[in-house]
Every structure is written in C-alpha cells, then in structure tokens.
Structure 1
Amino acid sequence: MRSWLPGLRARVNLKARLRHTWRYSPPTILSGGFLLLIAVGTALFATPFASHQGMTFWEALFTATASITVTGMSLVDPASDLTLFGQLLVMVLFHLGGLGLMTFAVLTVMALGGRLGLKGQRVVREAMDQASPGDVMLLVRRVALLALCLEVSGAAVLATVWVPAMGWTEGLWMSFFHAASAFNNAGVSLLPDGLAPWAATPLITLVITGLFITGGLGFTVLTDLWRQRRLSKLSLHSKLTLTGTLILAVGAWLLIMAFEWTNGTTLAAVDSGSRPWLAWFVAVVPRSAGFSVVDMSSLYAPSVLLVMFLIFIGGGSNSTASGIKVSTFMVVVLATRAFLTGRRRPTAFRRTVSLDSVFRAYTVVVLSMLMVMLGCFLLVILEPEMKPMDVLFEGFSAFGTAGLSRGITEDLSKPSQAILMVLMFAGRIGPLALAFSLARPRAVKLRYVEDQVQIG
C-alpha cells in the first residue's frame, strides 16, 4: 500500500499545480511555458548525450529556442552533430511548440484522470482561439488524433520512397521525423543535404508540402472541416483562411516560376519537367515551413522580396505556423477594400467582419512590423560588413519562424544571434499575445468626444 503513496501524491500535486496555472491569462501561461521549455531544452542539449562533440551553452540555447519555436535555424547540423537522443529531443520540442502547450497540458490532465473546471476550459478555449463554448476536452482529442493520423499517414507514404533507398531502420526513422517536422512547420531535416535532392520528386514534394500546408491551416479550420465536411457551411474564418492560402500559394508559385525559370542556380539547375515541382516547393515553403530546397542566396531580388512577404504573412491562426497569419492578412485586405469602396464594414461570403476583428488585425500588423523593423535595424547596425539584404532576410525569417537563411546564421555575432532568438520567441508567441502578457489590458468606461484626424 505504501508503495503507491509517492505516485498518488505526485499526481495530486501535479493536478493542483495545473489548476493553479489557470488563474493566469492565456498569453502569460503561453509565454511562461515557452520560456520554461527553452530552459529545460537548453539544459538537456548541453548534456553529452545530445550531441557527438558536445554543445556550448550558447549552441544549446539557440537549438532549444529554434526547436520550441518550430524554426529551422540552427548553429549545429542536426543530421551529423546530434545523437539519436538529441534528435528525439528536437522532435519532442517542436511537437510542443507546434501543437501547442495548452494541448499537451489538457492531455496531461486527461492522462491523470482529471477534468478541467470552467476557468480552465475558458483559458484553454482562449488560448486555442475558440469562441464557441464547446467541449474543450473533445477539441483537444480531435487535434491530437488529427495530428497523429496525418503524421503517421505522411510517414507511411514517405517510407515507400525512403525505405527502399535507405533500408528499413533509417528509412522509417527519416520518414516519421520528416513527416512530423513538416506537419509542425519545424523545417528540421536529418538528411545530409536536406530535402534539396528530393524537392523535384513529385511524391516527396506533394507529401511534405501537403503536410506543412495542412498544419499551417490551423486546428480551428481543420476541426471545422471535420465537423461540417461541406465548404458552404464553414465559418467565415475558415473560408478566409482557405481562400487566402490558395491565393497566396498559387500566386507565389506562378511568380517564382516567372522570376526563377532561367536562374541556373535555382530552377534552371534541374530539367524543365522538374522545375514546376521545385518552384511549388520554393513558393509554399516560406509559409513558416523552413525546409531549404534551393540556395536562398542565389534567388533573384524579386524572388527574395516575395519570399520575405510570404514569411511575414505565415500560416493560419492557431496553427503550427507563425507570421501575422493568413486570416489577419485577409481581414486587412477586406477592410482596405471596404474603405476604398465607401462601405462602412468589410464583408466576405455574405458575412460582415466584426470591428473587433478589424482592430485586432491592424494591431497585429502594426506590432509585427515594429518588431521586425526594430530587429532588422539592430541586426544591420551590429553586422555592418554583411549585405543588408541577407541581414533583413534573416530577421524576417526568424520572426516568421520560417528557418530559411541565406547562409549567414553561424557567421553572425552573438548579440545578433540573441536578437534572432528574441524574434523567434516573439514570432511564435504572437505579437498580440506577447503584448497582452507584458501589459495589463483594462476596460475603459470613460468615453471622449470624437474628433477628426487628417490621414494620408
């Protein structure tokens, strides 16, 4: 009987601690959880079990930050420098960062046989951006089951190519790791040359891009598709996200082919039949996916600016991707169109976008631009000998947790790398959530007389 007491006490204490955390706001819990995981990850990466040659504290900190924020940037080579334990640690961290800390917190409560109170359900619902008062437990189960099914299915398809090429053990491990890395938009590859040799292979391209596009849609959209199963019955948020994703993906694909078709170091490095597949990968990977299939420093200037624009937008809300989010971009476009056409409220799909959504969208865009510009401004000052385009690209990539680089990450000074880590953290948490976790929003009851301000 006494042998069960320590385990029982541990379960009771853990339940009490989880209930205690619900007193804080979702942004505060999210920020604190990420910082805690970065600290734990840094300590584990610094052990001799995580890498073959051992990591310095700075390398461990950068690797932990990049992993939990699902950013593919790294100061070490995951394929050759990390041990199996280190690779497993990277995968655990990008699952926690991609699927969300709240998801795993609720799964922990469920595993312990506990239930969430009303306050706990409210916090999780706000953190997962769910307005409806539905069953949070059911939502989390669906998210976890959906992620598992998609990752296993993707790994099974990848295994049909990589098992014959690499053998059963290595082929299965590579298949599952890359499927999980793609769905979580982590962009970490364990292949010696990354996915570049496979980017023009139709099956590999379709599976990898399909996984990170699906993960980047957002769990709100995926669960909406699960419940409704008909496009006409989807919520306005889902319709805007799906429409925006399609427009951005197809538009970027056509532009990349137009810009890079004759570039001998990118698309023209393969035969004409493979160029559309490679162009598709290059066009959709900036949406926070992070897999590098071409040398980013070899892209023409228009393509670089396009990639930076896509990185800034990112994926869907409540997804494994980062950036300002597709729905935010679509709301800003709709609000701008409404103003230019003389409408008082933006509309789409026979629905009116709420003013609160419009204010939040513009706030996210402004805060994001301020963060990126400040980060890039500091990087340019700290790295005067590097090309400004390379430094700006690095800053945008860190904020969008895209993980793409023009090959300067390891050459940056430690202060510059520290700025990249701050941008990764801010980009993954989200500028609005980060601002709410630092500030104390209060409802203002006093109303003032309206006045006009000249604009433009």
Structure 2
Amino acid sequence: MSLPELLLAGFLLLSVLGALLLSLPIAAEQPLNWHQALFTATSAVTVTGLGVVDTSSLSLFGQLVVLGLIQVGGLGFMTCAAMMMVLLGMRLPLYQKRLISESLEHTSFAELAQMVRLVVGFALATELAGTLLLSLVWMPEHGVAAGLWISAFHAISAFNNAGFSLWPDSLAREVADPLVNGVISLLFIVGGLGFVVIAELANWRPGRGLSLHARITLHASGGLILAAMACVLLFEWDNPATLGGLEGLGAKLQAAWFQAVTPRTAGFNTLDIGAMTTPSALLTMLWMFIGAGSGSTASGIKVTTFMVLLLVARAFLKGQARPVAFGRSLSARTVMEAVAVALAGMLLVFGCLLALTITEPGQDFLGLAFESVSAFATVGLSRGVTAELSASGQLVLIATMLLGRVGPISLGYLLATRKTESLRFAEGRVHVG
C-alpha cells in the first residue's frame, strides 16, 4: 500500500470510528442517523467545520468525540502515533518516517523526531494559552466549568482550523469583543502558517535570514489578509445584514478583519455568510481555494502554490526565463508542482459542484458552488446549504472533504517520487493562450 493510500485509509478509518461513536444514543439529544454521524465525523477529522447538525445539539460525550477527531485530524494521525513512539523511546520505522515526512512537507528524516516534538508541544502550548485567554471572557459569563470547556473547545478548534463552534451562530455573538476576535484569529493564523515555518521562526536568531519558503508564506499571507479585509469593507460596509448592521467603527473593523482571515480554512464567522453580497461571496471562495501555508492544519491549494503561479505569470510577462522571488529563482519542478496542485484542486471543486447540481437540482447555484469550495479547502464556511442537502449530496461533500484533505499530500508524494526519465523525446510546440 502506497503512502497516499495509507493516509486516505487512516482518515477513512477515523471517520468511520467517529461516526460509530456519534451514532450512539448518548452522543446527542436526538440520535443521529448514519449519514449525519458520518458527515459530522468526517468534517471533524478533516478539520472542515461544515455541519448537518448543530454541535450544540450534541451531548458532552458527542462534543468530546468531535474535539478528539479535530485534534487528531489537525495534527495528523501519523504524527500523533510517531510522537507516542518517540516518548516511549522507540525508533521510528522507515515507512513511518516517510509518511510523517510527507505530512510535514518533506522534512528530512534526521529532523523528524525533533519536528514531531515541536509540532505536538507547540500545538498543545498554543491551545492552552488560547484556552486561558478565552476563559477570561467566558468563565465570568458561563461559570468556571462551562467557561473552561467552551474556551478549550474553541481554542482547539481554532488552532486546528476546524471552525466547529458550540453555538449555532458560530461566533456572531462575539462580533464586537476584541479579546475573542483577537485570540481566535491569532490561533488559526498561527495554525495555518505551517509547522515548517513555525519551526524556522522558533529557531530564528538576529542576523539569520529566513528561507525562501518562509518569506513567501509570511509576505503572501499578510498581503492576502489585507486585500481580503479591504474587499470586505468595500462590499459589506452598507449591507444592513452584515457590517451595515453593526454600531461603531471598532465593531465594523473587527468584523471585517475576522471575515478577512477566516476564509483561510478557519471556518468561524462573526457575520452571516448567507447574507453577504455576491462579490464578497465570490472573493471568499477565492480566499478559501487558496488556503493557508503548506504543512499546516489548513488545506486549499496553499498560499505558496498561489504565489508560484503569480510569479510564473509575472516572469512570462517580463520575458524572464524563470520566475524569481526575493533574489532566488524557482525550479521547473516547483512550477510543475504548483500547476499540478492548482489544476487538481480546480478539477475536484468542479467535480463536486457538478455532482451537487445533479443531486440537489432545486438549490441555489452560488450556494452549491460556495459549499463545494468550502469542502475542498476544508474551511467550513457555509451559506446555509449544507444542512439542507440530501443524503446523496452529503456523501458528495464527504468525499470532497477527504480528498481535499489527503489530495495535496498525495499529489506531493507522487511528484516527489516520480521516476527519472531514461528516454528524452524531441521537443514539440503547442500554441497556448
């Protein structure tokens, strides 16, 4: 069995196990049927956040199951297994090192044990810090026990870019709270940078430059966030159902900021997604499709892939032989990987949307398109269509979430393990554009 097959089998197994637990009578006020349980489990383990039932309708046991699936899915089930072996003093088998290396974007074998410790340690420390900060708001409001649980659930969900909330309206009730907005957004931004970038920042010292990958990730992430925030302010400022219905400049800026960063696969929302204007919805789909950093808890085609495509276009327009960024040229292999990942993502979204138009003929097309991109990028933002899907439509989204989570890793593996050509053919010319 190849590494992509192992990854897909692992996520499928976790989804089925989660579905079995969620289908138990003690998991919800009203027992979930099989496709509701499977959809919820898959959405959790792929850290998507799309839901056909409200998390608030689940019992404490059901919410614990969802939270466990989020944690395992976010960090990577093989990363967790490798960490357990490291803690027990066991040596990692070669096949497992290769699998962890793929999930952490080709980290060298010699650095795997250190990287796995960093991943898990940093994640737990960040989630604990987020829980403590959020408890300052929610413990006085809900009591010590309930406040801590609400804080821990949202902190873990945010860091893993899952988007699951214990409230039906996500975080709309906290739209004007600066602490909640700041902590939640910081958690999923950090979780979306990528563990390789986090490790590099952790080891950074004055006078030591960052790698090209880290520089592109950080600069592009900042630029995309600012562009998204400007677009939200432009298209939603006078919309009475979103920014136009908020009082005060501070609340509007906070809501615009949060809605600008959450499409990068976080899934939380403080504004009603279904009430956003069509231009905002289309741009949100673009941000979701791009996603966050490579090797992170997020999905999408990844921000570095998007930037490579832009650099290729710029190089072509300027007549350059190779795309260049920060004084470094990008290899032909990097360009091919970016094109392959982006094209695979587009085809998966198109396939999902096509299937949904067949299974859900009466649904709004924009809503189905939005849901398709959200499922592929494992974001979880919704225009209210997911809960109305038929069982067939839910199965389509389940498959899309799994492929969206495992697909980029699998494609990266195939590109990384391709065979050296023993025969070269004469070049031919094809007219494009």
Is 1:423 matched with 2:400? Answer: yes
Instruction: Note closer, same or farther for the CA distance 1:231–1:331 as it changes in structure 2 (3 Å cut).
Output: farther
Q: In structure 1, what is the equivalent of residue 37 of structure 2?
A: 60
Instruction: Note closer, same or farther for the CA distance 1:229–1:77 as it changes in structure 2 (3 Å cut).
Output: farther
Q: In structure 1, what is the equivalent of residue 275 of structure 2?
A: 298
Residues 295-338 of structure 1, C-alpha deviation per residue, up to 9 Å, x if partnerless? 21211111011100001001111111110000111111111111
Give 1:219's match in structure 2, choosing from 195, 209, 219.
Answer: 195
Instruction: Note closer, same or farther for the CA distance 1:230–1:75 as it changes in structure 2 (3 Å cut).
Output: farther
**Is residue 399–residue 423 contact of structure 1 (8 Å, CA) maintained in 2?**
yes
Q: In structure 2, what is the equivalent of residue 21 of structure 1?
A: none
**Is residue 26–residue 124 contact of structure 1 (8 Å, CA) maintained in 2?**
no
**Is residue 426–residue 434 contact of structure 1 (8 Å, CA) maintained in 2?**
no
Equivalent pairs, count: 432
Deviation at 1:435? 8.7
Deviation at 1:445? 1.7
Deviation at 1:436? 5.8
Sequence identity (%): 45
Q: In structure 2, what is the equivalent of residue 163 of structure 1?
A: 139
- C-alpha separation in 2, matches of 1:231 and 1:407: 50
Is 1:74 matched with 2:51? Answer: yes
Residues 105-132 of structure 1, C-alpha deviation per residue, up to 9 Å, x if partnerless? 2012124431114454333223311344
Q: In structure 1, what is the equivalent of residue 313 of structure 2?
A: 336
Deviation at 1:272? 2.9
Is 1:185 matched with 2:178? Answer: no
Q: Report the secondary structure of 1:303's partner residue.
A: helix
Q: Report the secondary structure of 1:157's partner residue.
A: helix
Instruction: Note closer, same or farther for the CA distance 1:241–1:424 as it changes in structure 2 (3 Å cut).
Output: same
Give 1:141's match in structure 2, choosing from 117, 121, 128.
Answer: 117
Residues 134-173 of structure 1, C-alpha deviation per residue, up to 9 Å, x if partnerless? 3211110011111011111111111111111111011111
Q: In structure 1, what is the equivalent of residue 176 of structure 2?
A: 200
Deviation at 1:180? 0.5
Structure 1, gaps ≥5 residues long: 1-23
Q: In structure 1, what is the equivalent of residue 21 of structure 2?
A: 44
Instruction: Note closer, same or farther for the CA distance 1:434–1:235 as it changes in structure 2 (3 Å cut).
Output: closer
Q: Report the secondary structure of 2:133's partner residue.
A: helix
Q: In structure 1, what is the equivalent of residue 244 of structure 2?
A: 268
Q: TM-score scaled by structure 2?
A: 0.95
Deviation at 1:29? 2.1
Mean Cα deviation higher: 411-420 or 244-253: 411-420
Give 1:243's match in structure 2, choosing from 219, 238, 248.
Answer: 219
Deviation at 1:26? 3.0
**Is residue 76–residue 103 contact of structure 2 (8 Å, CA) maintained in 1?**
no
Deviation at 1:369? 0.4
Instruction: Note closer, same or farther for the CA distance 1:30–1:253 as it changes in structure 2 (3 Å cut).
Output: same
Instruction: Note closer, same or farther for the CA distance 1:436–1:114 as it changes in structure 2 (3 Å cut).
Output: closer
**Is residue 35–residue 394 contact of structure 2 (8 Å, CA) maintained in 1?**
no
Deviation at 1:342? 0.9
Residues 256-303 of structure 1, C-alpha deviation per residue, up to 9 Å, x if partnerless? 001100100000111132100001111111111011322212111110
- C-alpha separation in 1, matches of 2:395 and 2:288: 20
**Is residue 335–residue 345 contact of structure 1 (8 Å, CA) maintained in 2?**
yes
**Is residue 50–residue 380 contact of structure 2 (8 Å, CA) maintained in 1?**
yes
Q: In structure 2, what is the equivalent of residue 6 of structure 1?
A: none
Is 1:91 matched with 2:67? Answer: yes
Q: In structure 2, what is the equivalent of residue 280 of structure 1?
A: 257
Alignment of 1:105-144 (within 5 A): 105-144=81-120
Deviation at 1:434? 5.7
Q: Report the secondary structure of 1:287's partner residue.
A: coil
Give 2:383's match in structure 1, choosing from 384, 401, 406.
Answer: 406
What code does the residue aligned with 1:385 have? G
Q: In structure 2, what is the equivalent of residue 10 of structure 1?
A: none
- C-alpha separation in 2, matches of 1:297 and 1:231: 48
What code does the residue aligned with 1:305 have? L
- C-alpha separation in 1, matches of 2:298 and 2:205: 23
Give the alignment's Cα RMSD to 1 decimal: 1.9
Instruction: Note closer, same or farther for the CA distance 1:190–1:229 as it changes in structure 2 (3 Å cut).
Output: farther
Mean Cα deviation higher: 226-235 or 182-191: 226-235
Structure 2, gaps ≥5 residues long: none
